[in-house]
Amino acid sequence: MRNGTAITEFILLGFPGIQGLQIPLFIGIFSIYILTLAGNGLIIAIVCTEPRLQIPMYFFLCNLSFLEIWYTTTVMPKLLETFVVARTAICTTCCLLQAFFHFFLGTTEFFILTVMSFDRYLAICKPLRYPIIMTSNLCLQLALSSWGVGFTIVFCQMLLLIQLPFCGNNVINHFYCDVGPILKAACADTSILELLGLLATILVIPGSLFFTVISYIYILSTILRIPSVAGRRKAFSTCASHLTVVSLLYGAVLFMYLRPTTHSFFKINKMVSVLNTILTPLLNPFIYTIRNKEVQGALRKAMSCPNTHHQE
């Protein structure tokens, strides 16, 4: 045990040194949050109301959109508070809860994206068997497994974390409750938790990336064997959006975990966290709709319905 007073709250520094930019940043990030909620909510609404989109690919996309709404919501309120309040405090229990939901949803996202790559592999490499294999029951099982495994991995670590006494430095140089600074504030040995965190990171990030890469190796080899250019383009367009989202997510996360552990990289790391937790959830709806004719058609249909009723 280290000597010190028990911590009852943590202080989030957010982005110090941005004097004079707080209000523009608050407005900009709040606008991004509203667009994220609207974009992902719209995808869920369209898929639920359009029968043509009620297929496995869009079922998993709904899961991703639902996850993104809550993933960005876990960090956004306190991030916005750092722009308007001189001292952003968060109670210890609230900080641990934020850390749990942030990492639970973040972990689940890797599994859902892996399942989506498996779905694309079956659709492109096994088109005749795809409807037989990817049944509604299997879709539900894969989605529930993604959420269940993500929850279990993080919950087991959180059970140990909440039992730790905290009496160290309560200042977190971030805009959300990251596990690293929380562990540093603990007054007990955290080596077991750090080891479990490392094992979980290896299991989730390189593990899910491995399965995603294998799926895309098979997908690309199948696409290259399609004789017609139009056929190759059509096959690739069905997985281009997913590949873009996967590249953004893994690119940001691998940068954060593989960066040199020097102080000069910390500011860059924080900016990459902004990309991962704020911008990616905003971009996902646009990435999945910008070149998707089915979703665009459903959007046009939804927008034309009110006009039709109005004319009647």
pLDDT tens figures, 4-43: 578 889 999 888 877 778 889 899 999 999 999 999 999 9
Q: Which of helix, strand or coil describes residue 10? A: strand
| Stretch (H or E) spanning 51 | none
**CA–CA dist 116, 199 (Å, integer):** 24
What's the pLDDT score for residue 1?
Answer: 42
What's the pLDDT score for residue 267?
Answer: 65
Q: If you ran DSSP here, which 8-state letter would residue 157 be given?
A: H
Residues of the chain with pLDDT under 70: 1-4, 257-268, 290-291, 302, 305-312
What's the pLDDT score for residue 19?
Answer: 76
Q: Which of helix, strand or coil describes residue 174? A: coil
Q: Give the ranges where 126-190 is alpha helix by DSSP (H).
A: 130-133, 136-161, 179-184
The position carrying tokens 């077991």 is 192
Structure tokens at 229: 């250019």
pLDDT tens figures, 148-182: 999 999 999 999 999 999 887 888 888 899 888 88
**CA–CA dist 211, 218 (Å, integer):** 11
What's the pLDDT score for residue 2?
Answer: 47
What's the pLDDT score for residue 305?
Answer: 61
The residue among 115, 189, 186, 110 whose CA lies nearest residue 154 is: 110
What's the pLDDT score for residue 306?
Answer: 54
**CA–CA dist 48, 38 (Å, integer):** 15
Partner residues linked to 9 by β-bridges: 91
Instruction: Provide the residue type at 114 as one letter.
Output: T
pTM, full prediction: 0.89
CB neighbour list of residue 156: distance below 8 Å, 6 or more residues apart: 196
